[in-house]
Amino acid sequence: MYSIISTEELVPRVRVYRISAPRIAKKAAAGQFVILRVDDNGERIPLTIADWDVVEGSVSVVFMEVGTTTTKLSRLKAGDTISDIVGPLGNATEIDNFGTVCLMAGGFATATIMPIARAMKAAGNRVITIVGARNKDLLFWRERLSAVSDELIITTDDGSAGRKGVVTEPIKEMLERGERIDRVIAIGPSIMMKFSALTTKPFGIKTIVSMNPIMIDGTGMCGCCRVSVAGQTRFACVDGPEFDAHAIDWDNFMARQRSYIEEEKRSLEICRCPSG
């Protein structure tokens, strides 16, 4: 059993949990994830490691209350325990002094971008971070990101914070005016990552995305997290989760993500009923 040290609601339905997991904290790196089960009968879900503290022996995960397991997880409080947490899993983000790195986060992927921005800045890069959300009420960690970014750009769909528009517009403008960007990392909803790839491809900018397919065991055995990359099958849990955005079959990937929508709805209905 793993103890929850603290919980915090960052924005409505998005929470950060600090969990005691000393061995995972000792090995964690930017871009990696854990798989956890809320209880012995629960499903296994992957969550990105948003932060870690080797001295305290803790890892932090950020999640949105959207499905059955995240709903159950959201009901826990500091001092409660979760059944299992395994990690760190996946390959860490490639960190080097590339020059100018543009990091793009859609929605609550801010949590995933944060440790990458910190590592890229420490490696000597000029870091431009672009965060997009539907409105200002869904933004979090702006001060933390600003501290590790040379430039922080906020976009909102309704214009309630930063500039009005989608997250891909600022980088498109930068590239069109000839500003040099040596690497792009885009993380967020699949549609956002797809359009990030389409935006940078004409300019030949190396673009990396972190894939979030259906995942079960996290060891490459089940095959559920397969992703078509340059015409070959790759597994996000062991070959990723990061891949070349320009090589991904996005239509296939997005179709596979919709495979169990009806089953997920029924499961959530049971979870939310009084006897669930």
Per the annotation, does 237 bind a ligand?
yes
Distance CA 51, CA 262 (A): 33
Distance CA 82, CA 203 (A): 46
3-state secondary structure of 76: coil
3-state secondary structure of 147: helix
Ramachandran area for residue 124 (φ above 0: left; ψ -120 to 50: alpha; else beta): left
Per the annotation, does 225 bind a ligand?
yes
Phi–psi pair at 114, nearest 5 degrees: -55, -55
157: CB partners within 8 A, 6+ apart: 132, 133, 134, 135, 164, 165, 166
- Binding-site residues for [2Fe-2S] cluster, in ranges, read 222, 225, 237
- Binding-site residues, in ranges, read 222, 225, 237
